[in-house]
Amino acid sequence: MDHQFQESACSRSVRCGTIWTEDLRGTNGLGLALHTGEPSAVSGAEHFLAGHAGVSCVAAPIFDSQGRLIGLLDVSSELPDRQNHTQALVSLAASNIENRLFVNDHRGDAIIQFHPRQEYLTTQSVGMVSVDEDGRITGANRSACQLFNGIDLSGPKMFSDLFRGGFGAIVSQTRLGEVVRLVDWLNASYFARMRFSHPRIGDSITHKRVSLSTSPVFSIPQRSDDPVFHDGRVRNSMRLAIRSAKARLPICVSGQTGSGRTTFAQSVHQSLATDGPLVTIDCSHANYADKSGPPAELITELDTRRDILDHENGMLVVENLAAMRGPTAGKIMQFIDRLQMIRPNWCIMSTAVPDDAADREWTGDVLRTYENLTQMTVHLPTLEDRNDFALVAANILAGISSKHRLSSSAMSLLQKFDRPRNMSDLANQLRLLVVHSKAGNIREEHVERILGLPTVVGHVCLRCRGNSVREAKCREINRMYNHCSGNVALTSRTLGVSRTTVYSHVERKAVGGTSGE
């Protein structure tokens, strides 16, 4: 069970040492699998005892190579709507365990793997029979018994009792791993290959345990209060950013609004294990009263910056590059050039929105500064595209309230909401849930009552309705249009379609931002 289920009231029913046989518990997933010898799923009110109505259990039995029931694999949760998917995973895991036990039990024997379809020889559904050096069958897995439907496998059998042809000929053909054709005595044809296993290690051999204390090749420091970086793309961007920072190569963090660019930069700074400060210059704060140049509070002379001069190491972050104007860009580049001369150990990082500079006709200092700071660019995906949403939401919620938790059903519903501002929108939604909910688990009904039901992302125009393929494409265009804040040009570039196509599908109303015309 996962941590969330373990902390729920339902977990008190599923603990080590509890008895789940049907004569004591009535109908339940574990007892049913033990009784029938087949994978089973019992959900909620299907349990005999009303006290188990909050639990959904999926169980699969595990047999040894002699067909004896030796174990059971169970998954218990509060989710009744994923049973088919979970049952398939549990059955696959049980088959994997059985096959590994089968190979371990028959070390020293030749194991014949066979299946009617050649591509299935590498899957868990492959049939396996073990044969000793005399051609006597010493065991068979469950898949083999199912494939040999109509052939009795009880009692000692020889290879020739199952397949046409001699055992020695098959061994010579498959010794080099070749796939051959086998035909049983019911004229069923199979693809087969031989798996040779190592003999068991005798008790006379001395074993010695060696402890390895090597450090990992690369690790990202992770504390309990750190942001979550479990998405593969985010972790890869973090690796590249840390390496670039150590090599003193300027790096740009690209991502949509609210994707965590500033937090990402702070984490890179912390990972460098330096006592130096993190100094930020935000180009979007420039306020030109007379259009002549940047205000003094944006960029001051380097000689007056004690937060830089007093530290040999540190990081300078230039945020919102696309907001640069001509005088600002020249000043920033001069500032960075002088910084790299007098403080060569400082790291330079910048942040930008993807393609935000595409529509800007930059020249001179602005273009040179932008190109210099974006030569090495890493990208952060939107919250919708990340595969660690549950961990991100739980992390943000823990920072808001230590007394609230999200149930699995609430997390699934929360993930369906559209969030143009990514992390910021999610944090605000979680604050609303905390304010309007009592301490404890926040459930699906709380999300529905407080935040409402998530709308289908993307408007479907009249000419696309009724055609599932056209509707899917139309929703995708509208979803990207919303994420681009109503910028038609950016939407068309992102999706690789014409502006006319975007115009024909979107409903242009009440969308923050510009059309990009």
Tell me how far apart the alpha carbons of residues 383 and 419 are, in angstroms, rounded to a whole number. Answer: 8
Q: How confident is the model at residue 155 (pLDDT cuts 50, 70, 90)?
A: low
CB half-sphere exposure, 122, CA atoms < 13 A? 3
Tell me how far apart the alpha carbons of residues 386 and 423 are, in angstroms, rounded to a whole number. Answer: 12
> In the predicted model, what is the mean pLDDT of the chain?
77
3-class secondary-structure state, position 309? helix
Of 298 and 70, more confident = 70
Residue 316 pairs with which residues in a beta bridge?
279, 348
Give the DSSP H or E segment for 328.
helix 326-342
What are 430's two structure tokens? 């979680």
The DSSP annotation for 79-108 comes to -SS-HHHHHHHHHHHHHHHHHHHHHHHTTT
Residue 77 pairs with which residues in a beta bridge?
56
Tell me how far apart the alpha carbons of residues 162 and 147 are, in angstroms, rounded to a whole number. Answer: 12
Closest-CA residue to 420 (of 302, 517, 512): 512
- Measured between alpha carbons, how far is residue 453 from residues 136, 413, 424 in Å? 64, 8, 19
Closest-CA residue to 247 (of 231, 268, 216): 268
How is the chain split among helix, strand and coil, in percent rounded to 5?
40, 15, 40
Residue 279: how many CB atoms within 10 A of its CB?
Answer: 16
Closest-CA residue to 69 (of 29, 97, 109): 97
For residues 445-473, average pLDDT: 75
Contact indicator for 508, 351 with CB cutoff of 8 Å: no
Q: How confident is the model at residue 140 (pLDDT cuts 50, 70, 90)?
A: confident
- Environment class of 306 (CB within 10 Å of its CB; exposed 0-12, middle 13-18, buried 19+): exposed
- In the predicted structure, residue 305 carries a pLDDT above the cut 90: no
pLDDT tens digit string along 209-229?
555 444 444 333 444 455 677
CB half-sphere exposure, 210, CA atoms < 13 A? 3
pLDDT tens digit string along 21-35?
888 888 888 888 888
Task: Give pLDDT, residue 299.
Answer: 58
Give the DSSP H or E segment for 183.
strand 180-183
Contact indicator for 61, 94 with CB cutoff of 8 Å: yes
What are 368's two structure tokens? 């040179």
Q: How many residues does the chain have?
A: 517
- The pTM is what? 0.47
Cα(first)–Cα(last) distance of the chain, in Å? 53
- In the predicted structure, residue 456 carries a pLDDT above the cut 60: no
- In the predicted structure, residue 6 carries a pLDDT above the cut 80: no
Three-state secondary structure string covering 20-83: CCHHHHCCCHHHHHHHHCCCEEEEHHHCCCHHHCCCEEEEEEEECCCCCEEEEEEEEECCCCCH
Task: Give the strand pairing for 440-442 and 404-406.
Answer: parallel
3-class secondary-structure state, position 138? strand
Tell me how far apart the alpha carbons of residues 510 and 74 are, in angstroms, rounded to a whole number. Answer: 50
Q: How confident is the model at residue 431 (pLDDT cuts 50, 70, 90)?
A: very high
Closest-CA residue to 349 (of 445, 292, 264): 264
Which range is least confidently modeled, 65-79, 222-236, 396-410, 461-475?
Answer: 222-236
Percent of the chain with pLDDT over 90: 4
CA angle 305/308/309 to nearest 5° reads 80
Q: How confident is the model at residue 164 (pLDDT cuts 50, 70, 90)?
A: confident
Q: Which letter, b or e, does each residue of 313-344 get, where b requires 16 or more Cβ atoms within 10 Å of its Cβ?
A: ebbbbbbbbbebbbbbbbbbbebbeebeeebe
Long-range contacts of 502-508 (CB under 8 A, 24+ apart): 502/477, 504/461, 505/461, 505/464, 505/473, 505/474, 505/477, 505/478, 506/459, 506/461, 506/477, 506/478, 506/481, 507/459, 507/461, 507/478
- In the predicted structure, residue 494 carries a pLDDT above the cut 50: yes
Closest-CA residue to 445 (of 495, 410, 483): 410
pLDDT tens digit string along 225-257?
556 778 888 888 898 999 998 888 999 998 888
For residues 285-299, average pLDDT: 46
Task: Give pLDDT, residue 295.
Answer: 45
Residue 245 pairs with which residues in a beta bridge?
none
